[in-house]
Chains A and B, each alone.
Chain A
Amino acid sequence: MATLDSRIPAGPLADKWRKHKMDMKLVNPANKRKYEVIVVGAGLAGASAAATLADLGYRVKCFVFHDSPRRAHSIAAQGGINAAKNYQNDGDSVYRLFYDTIKGGDYRSRESNVHRLAEVSVNIIDQCAAQGVPFAREYGGLLANRSFGGAQVSRTFYARGQTGQQLLLGAYSALSRMVGAGSVELRTHSEMLDLVVVDGHAKGIVVRDLVTGELSRHAADAVVLATGGYGNVFNLSTYARGSNATAIWRAYKRGACFANPCYTQIHPTCIPVTGDYQSKLTLMSESLRNDGRIWVPKDKAAVGRDPNSIPEPDRDYYLERMYPAFGNLCPRDIASRAAKRVCDEGRGVGLSGLGVYLDFSDAIRRLGEAGVSERYGNLFDIYHEITNENAYRVPMRIFPAVHYTMGGLWVDYNLMSNLPGLFVLGEANFSDHGANRLGASALMQGLADGYFVIPYTIGDYLASQKPGARPSPDAKEFTAAESAIRAQTEHLLSVRGKQPVSHFHKRLGHLMWQYCGMARNRSGLEQALREIPALREEFWATVRVPGSAATYNQSLEQAGRVADFIELGELMCLDALKREESCGGHFREEFQQADGECRRDDEHFAHAAAWEYQGQGRAPLRNTEPLNYEFVKMSTRNYK
């Protein structure tokens, strides 16, 4: 059984991080050069970590499966990044950002981590502005803000609808500087296929060069995974097609605990599905909810009508009706479930009946078309490209889609997993968002982890490791890992069955969406837990992977990732089944209030569930880390 020591520093909430920074061990500058750190992934968390660790003097190797670190999917985040700057003088503070995040996460995150996140949020904006990130400005030249879901203050910084892109390019520029200086060795087109554990510590990885197919071994003093989330288990999602769980899944199979895998965020404002060929769902930024109003017809007989012909009294602005205090800006999980509910009632719009209107006509009357275009022009363009509809004239149609995963590898306060030497940053870890993430908080967490947390906490671990004591890449653990990868690859190529990889991914996606999506229940989850293992067997018996292992082979890459998604999907369903309560993005139909809201069970489930791998064919072990709320009272979320 894994030991889950959260290492939360003692003392008052607001002093924990400051005190912890004083208490942690340091590595002297001359010794830093002797330590080698592997960073896998170069999104916001990975690029900022790799750049900052190299700047401190560590020798860093950074691996990305993309052709360039600038491609990571952080780039697609649209709306913004939160920070408790209180530049708007509207009552924001570190405590308020902390509190909103804790409450938004439905009291399932760790107080200490979230408070630290809120504290360093202000440094992130300073750092990014200094890097030249072209944030939106007011005429006086100072930074502009907008509001986002789950908050009643304006604390979101943004760069048009491309905030993620600009922040990633900032982190990428910092990383590029260190690569140019020779301090980071960058390996592109390189996919991590296994974690190597020596004497209980993470000490290296095995990597496949996606161009040549060659496998290589890399030993290090510490390994940092910043490989993003696992929402592509659902096949259709707002993730990039290449986003995958392979790095964290294989770390899990080497002993790292996987926490709260069932916590999935379904984003309320995405463009609806049109056909089964579809590869991708496109998000329409939550920032649109600042000025757009969400509605469906009151009467289901009106759903086929031209929306502009439906008069005001016949429209149901259901979020404004159900949640008058937060209205269209209620948190994502709540907005998504409300959309599902009105569609289940037969009031959904569009060909499939799975859509609701997001209407800008009021905003256009108020701000003019130019005013709306300045705020959201690129989003209206994207919408037009995909649907061939002009959202300045007819309301957008939107529907919830999988967008983010709050679960991930378990980490302690230092962002180290239960495997010493393995650090996990950004969306790949579980730590800060509880059961639901607020908008504009993913960018904040990725950069907090990379720029301001790991540079301190990794030193505390490395100081306990003798400089230069990392194992040789010829050690037996590396050899064993490499052989296992070769065996798996040969198996995949040798089946020569009758279905392409995409076939299995689609079927897994359907199962997950049906049984482990916006609403879950016992019998559905049990059904999924029967069907997914059968799907896994069928995959290994009948998949067709063309080509060879010694070339650029996208089918082979995809096959390995889908094999992992199938196993992870099963764990997600198991976690959802065992969590017999509703909280945040995890909604169990059996556990709801009379008005359809989540009914948490703090007595039995105020904990993180950290699953521990027990070997192929054996049930994983469910460890728990209790969540002790010392400073905030757990209460029922109320956005009404």
Chain B
Amino acid sequence: MKTLSVTLRVWRQPATGQPGSFVEYPAKDLNPDMSFLEMLDVVNDELTMKGDEPIAFAHDCREGICGTCSLVINGKPHGPHRGVATCQTYLRSFKDGDMIVVEPFRARSFPVIKDLVTDRSAFDRIQQAGGFITVRAGSAPDANAIPVPKAEADLAMDAAQCIGCGACVAACKNSSAMLFVAAKVGHLGLMPQGQAERDRRVLAMVQTMDEAGFGSCSNYFECSAACPKLISVDFIARMNRDYLKATVKSAFKTAPLGSSGGGA
């Protein structure tokens, strides 16, 4: 079988806040059917046996759905191909003799934990602020009681596919998280079940996004190009409309009269 050999130029950084640098590692005689992460496994085993510390990188499902893997490969989040995650990138996409630059997702809101691993917990905080429909277990009506037009359910699914990897942030020169937030706001806002909390949701999620230090959107749409699920930037426009409406409504809204108080 024809094999290939490449040189990896990898970002090494011992811990958050410490200085890092690029280090070169040869990776020889690789099977082109090997995945990019399997190559890192092999390099890491070699480093281990040499007494060096292996390269830390995040990964889990290795089938493009959990959103754990990251990596900027030759300047592109999730590597050379559109619509796939790093873990679905195979060596047949590279040429023998290539120099491959491997970096973490870089953004102020995603501090490096070690080497190629970053802290993306800001995404969880945005979800905790409003990325849900409040429903107590056991209180839901029959699932077919609320029909959802197929086109809207399909569109909601397009947005809901987001795997929360953060490539959109890494691809954006402003480190904006708009595509991520818009995907969640769009998904829940398209479903009839999501209407009751629609205004509250978009206001809270955008506010938390801003507080986490993500930048604004300048409409370059690098986010969507880097997205492993190719989530459309149309959802950003949709979120902006929702946000504007909710802001205007909240400005004119009178506070509701207290609804609490003891019963008989």
Residues of A within 8 A of B (CB): 48, 51-52, 55, 66-73, 75-76, 85, 87, 123, 125-132, 134-143, 159-160, 162, 165-166, 169, 172-174, 176-177, 179-180, 186, 188, 211, 240-242, 274-275, 277-280, 282-283, 381-382, 385-386, 388, 451-452, 455, 498-500, 502-503, 544, 546-547, 551-552, 554-555
Minimum CB–CB distance from B148 to chain A (whole Å) comes to 5
CB neighbours (8 Å) of B67 from chain A are: 70-71
Q: Interface digits, B110-143 against A, CB 8 Å rule (1 contact, 0 not)?
A: 0001100101110110011111111111111111
By the criterion CB–CB under 8 Å, are A551 and B15 in contact?
A: yes
Given known A-B contacts A127-B135, A137-B153, A176-B132, A382 and B141 have beta carbons under 8 A apart: no
Q: Which residue among B48, B134, B154 has the maximum number of chain A CB atoms within 10 Å of its CB?
A: B48
By the criterion CB–CB under 8 Å, are B53 and A546 in contact?
A: yes
Given known A-B contacts A123-B138, A177-B132, A385-B88, A160 and B157 have beta carbons under 8 A apart: yes
Number of A-B contacts (CB under 8 A): 221
CB neighbours (8 Å) of A126 from chain B are: 140-143
CB neighbours (8 Å) of B150 from chain A are: 137-139, 141
The reply to whether the CB of B211 lies closer than 8 angstroms to some CB of chain A is: no
Q: Which of B33, B48, B114, B148 contacts A552 (CB 8 A)?
A: B114
By the criterion CB–CB under 8 Å, are B127 and A176 in contact?
A: yes
CB neighbours (8 Å) of B59 from chain A are: 241
CB neighbours (8 Å) of A547 from chain B are: 53
Secondary structure type dominating chain B contacts? loop
Minimum CB–CB distance from A236 to chain B (whole Å) comes to 11
By the criterion CB–CB under 8 Å, are B140 and A176 in contact?
A: no
By the criterion CB–CB under 8 Å, are A386 and B90 in contact?
A: yes
Given known A-B contacts A76-B61, A277-B34, A280-B63, A55 and B136 have beta carbons under 8 A apart: yes
By the criterion CB–CB under 8 Å, are A73 and B66 in contact?
A: yes
Q: Which residue among A138, A503, A552 has the maximum number of chain B CB atoms within 10 Å of its CB?
A: A552
By the criterion CB–CB under 8 Å, are B142 and A134 in contact?
A: no
The reply to whether the CB of B257 lies closer than 8 angstroms to some CB of chain A is: no
CB neighbours (8 Å) of A554 from chain B are: 54, 56
A-B contact pairs, 24 of them (CB 8 A): A66-B60, A68-B121, A71-B60, A71-B61, A71-B66, A71-B67, A75-B66, A76-B61, A85-B144, A131-B135, A132-B133, A132-B191, A134-B160, A134-B191, A173-B127, A241-B61, A277-B31, A282-B62, A283-B63, A382-B64, A388-B90, A552-B117, A554-B54, A555-B54
CB neighbours (8 Å) of A179 from chain B are: 124, 128
CB neighbours (8 Å) of B160 from chain A are: 134, 159, 166, 169
Given known A-B contacts A75-B66, A137-B148, A386-B90, A211 and B31 have beta carbons under 8 A apart: no
By the criterion CB–CB under 8 Å, are B193 and A282 in contact?
A: no
CB neighbours (8 Å) of A130 from chain B are: 133, 135, 139-141, 143, 193
By the criterion CB–CB under 8 Å, are B140 and A129 in contact?
A: yes
CB neighbours (8 Å) of A87 from chain B are: 144
By the criterion CB–CB under 8 Å, are A552 and B113 in contact?
A: yes
By the criterion CB–CB under 8 Å, are A165 and B144 in contact?
A: no
The reply to whether the CB of B178 lies closer than 8 angstroms to some CB of chain A is: no
CB neighbours (8 Å) of A70 from chain B are: 66-67, 124, 127, 164
Q: Interface digits, B49-85 against A, CB 8 Å rule (1 contact, 0 not)?
A: 1011110101111111111100000000000000110
> In the bound complex, how far is the Cα of B141 from the Cα of A561, in angstroms?
43
The reply to whether the CB of B37 lies closer than 8 angstroms to some CB of chain A is: yes
By the criterion CB–CB under 8 Å, are B35 and A240 in contact?
A: no
By the criterion CB–CB under 8 Å, are B128 and A129 in contact?
A: no
Binds A, one of B38-46, B168-176, B218-226, B238-246: B38-46
The reply to whether the CB of B188 lies closer than 8 angstroms to some CB of chain A is: yes
CB neighbours (8 Å) of B149 from chain A are: 137, 141
CB neighbours (8 Å) of A67 from chain B are: 58, 68, 119-121
The reply to whether the CB of B215 lies closer than 8 angstroms to some CB of chain A is: no
CB neighbours (8 Å) of A552 from chain B are: 15, 56, 113-114, 117
CB neighbours (8 Å) of A69 from chain B are: 124
